[in-house]
Structure 1
Amino acid sequence: MEDIKMALIQIPHDMTELRVMMEQLKTMGKEVNEEKLIDQAVVDNAQQLLDEALEGHYFSCKLVDGDLIVYDVINLPAGTVKPLGNSFKEDFITDAEGLWHHLSSELNRIAGGR
């Protein structure tokens, strides 16, 4: 994913930004996959929210079998966030703003329990 970090839009927050990012990457000669970019955007946005909640990078998160798993400082699962709909991809496409509110609430709940 280092190639993605070279784009002008670092972390897309909605489909408009994702499409701009895809065009930027294509212009740079990079191969793009919308689904992978959405997954990365969900994880990156969730990580930012988690870092804000904990005032630093103490926990990490990743998508596992369609859920967002949060890991604590010793890399043990600290919590799970389920998508609002059928998938985070669907949530991102249909209502990115609602997805970020959902993630913020759930991640604050998980971070607050520590």
Structure 2
Amino acid sequence: MQNLIPGDMLEVNQKLRWELDAGMSADESSVINDAVLAGAQYFVDEALEGSYWTVKWDAQHQNIDIYGTTGAVVGAIKPKGTTLEADFRQDSQGLFIRIEKEVAVVVRDN
């Protein structure tokens, strides 16, 4: 359960319960934000066939920046709505499909 990347709100609530039962401090928002970041990293790793690039939240915790091997930002995942968390809540599967497509473009262009 620790390494599960929740793909929908049911899995978010399962992971939240697991984290709380394990004594971790978490809430629904933190589990969603962790899932979105982990999902983005997963798609980057898959596109590059290895862990060569890193993803991180930007300073405002609004976008996910994609860092290349030199440490420079090579791309960003931006929300369609107000936040990536809100995008997840509205359509988690659609968000992950969009992230996968956007990552593919960033990898192709870099």
Same fold by TM (over 0.5)? yes
User: How far 1:31 sits from its partner (Å)?
Assistant: 2.0
User: How far 1:30 sits from its partner (Å)?
Assistant: 2.2
| Matched residue count | 108
**Cross-structure match for 2:86:** 90
User: How far 1:10 sits from its partner (Å)?
Assistant: 2.2
Instruction: Find the aligned partners of 1:68 and 1:25 in 2 and give their Cα distance.
Output: 23
Instruction: Find the aligned partners of 1:16 and 1:48 in 2 and give their Cα distance.
Output: 20
Q: What CA RMSD, in Å, does the superposition of the two structures yield over aligned residues?
A: 1.3
Percentage of identical aligned residues? 29
**Cross-structure match for 2:50:** 56
Larger CA deviation: 24-33 vs 10-19: 24-33
CA contact under 8 A between 2:15 and 2:31: conserved in structure 1?
no
Aligned equivalent of 1:28, options 22, 45, 63: 22
**TM-score, scaled to structure 2:** 0.90
The 3-state SS of whatever aligns with 2:74 is: strand
Gapped regions of structure 2 (runs ≥ 5): none
Aligned equivalent of 1:37, options 31, 34, 49: 31
Does residue 81 of the first structure (1) align with residue 44 of the second (2)? no
Gapped regions of structure 1 (runs ≥ 5): 1-6
Runs of 4+ in 1 over 3 A off after TM superposition: none
What is the identity, as a one-letter code, of the residue corresponding to 1:19?
A: N
